[in-house]
Amino acid sequence: MAIEVKGEPTPNPNAMKFTANQVLFEGPGSASFKKGQDTDHPLAKELLALDGVDNIFGFQDFVTVNKEMGAEWDSLLPEIEAAFEKVYE
């Protein structure tokens, strides 16, 4: 089954929430990762490798992506979508 992801804005203009039709982060707790932090989580690794992504916060079927101040969502969104497709193809 292909992954389906829906992006939506948050009250913070530098953050967007992406909800998927499957579990992204296993386990009972949440996960947060900052740029430059080592992680074995495939989606976190792909998202943090993108220019303009500062940090992410994930829990079960969603991830919130926080961008760096100078980054633009218009250029980041296609890259975020490609990261999901690469990890969950």
Distance of CA 60 to the CA centre of its chain: 12
Tell me, what's the pLDDT at 2? 81
- Under CATH, which architecture does the 5-87 domain have? 2-Layer Sandwich (3.30)
pLDDT of residue 28: 87
* Spatial separation of the C-alpha atoms in residues 70 and 40, rounded to whole Å: 27
Judged by DSSP in three states, 46 sits in helix
Counting as low any pLDDT under 50, the low residues of the chain are none
Q: Which two tokens stand for residue 9?
A: 């804005």
pLDDT attached to residue 1: 63
Domain spans of the chain? Answer: 5-87
CA 50 – CA 52 distance, rounded (Å):
6
pTM (2 decimals)? Answer: 0.94
d(CA 64, CA 11): 12
Specify the pLDDT at position 27: 85
Distance in angstroms (rounded) separating the CA atoms of residues 27 and 14: 27
